[in-house]
Each structure stands twice: as structure tokens, then as C-alpha cells.
Amino acid sequence: MEDRIEIRALRLRCIIGFNPEERRNKQDVIIHMTLFTDLRKGGVTDDPADILNYRTVNKAVIAHVEASSYNTVEALATSIARLAVVECGVPKIEVRLEKPGALRFTDSVGVTILRTSADFAG
């Protein structure tokens, strides 16, 4: 399954970091998601019911992230993947999460993870 829906540069704010000054105020994060799903049927029928509802995924991620508090970008990225796969029915997701200004002289620091339902089974 190589069809994909791409959501790029979702800019949100949350508590992220483990230093005391990082825990005081919400910080910016930038989220890129690639939702791997089969788009063949919807491509033929032109019926929204035959495709993954990426708006639902996006809204769920926004609500989750804005209410979240994590020490690491790795944990936040994993929680986003879990939400998309377990609660929104995304078969496979790549999440790239960036934290702007995390290191001096860089635009951002981030991680990229790839998860499927097998990663959240049991």
C-alpha cells in the first residue's frame, strides 16, 4: 500500500521539553504526517465515504497536541501515531515532528517515526 495522504506543516503549541523553562509555557511544534491508505476505491467512485477522512485525523491531532504535555518529541510523535492508527483507523503513518529553536544555530530539531497497527497491538 503506497497511496498516501500528506498533511504538511501543521503548526501547534504544547508543553514540550524537560527543562523547567520549557515546562512553563507552550512551545511551537511543527507536525508533518503521511497517512498511508488505499485510495483506489475512492479514486474510482469519487465518493468521500470511500476514502480515509483526513480531516477527522487532523482535528483529532490538533485537539490532542494542544492539550498535551510531553518531555520529549519522541513521545509526542508516538502519541500522535497511536491516536491516528488506533482511534482514527489509519493503517500506517509517518510522523515527522519538529521543535523550532531547540538548538542554537538551527531552524529546528525533530524526529521521524513510522508506525502501523502492529506497533500498538496488545
* Count of domains observed in the chain: 1
Residue 1: the pLDDT is: 57
Closest CA to 81 of 37, 34, 38: 34
Amino acid 73 reads V
Averaged pLDDT, groups of 10, the chain, 122 residues long: 92 93 91 97 94 96 97 97 97 96 83 97 80
Whole-number Å distance between alpha carbons of 14 and 55 = 20
- For residue 40, give its domain range: 4-120
Whole-number Å distance between alpha carbons of 73 and 79 = 10
Whole-number Å distance between alpha carbons of 98 and 18 = 16
Strand partners, 13: 28
Amino acid 35 reads L
Domain with 96 in it: what CATH number? 3.30.1130.10
Whole-number Å distance between alpha carbons of 84 and 54 = 10
What's the whole-model pTM score?
0.93
Residue 64: the pLDDT is: 98
Cell 491531532 belongs to residue: 61
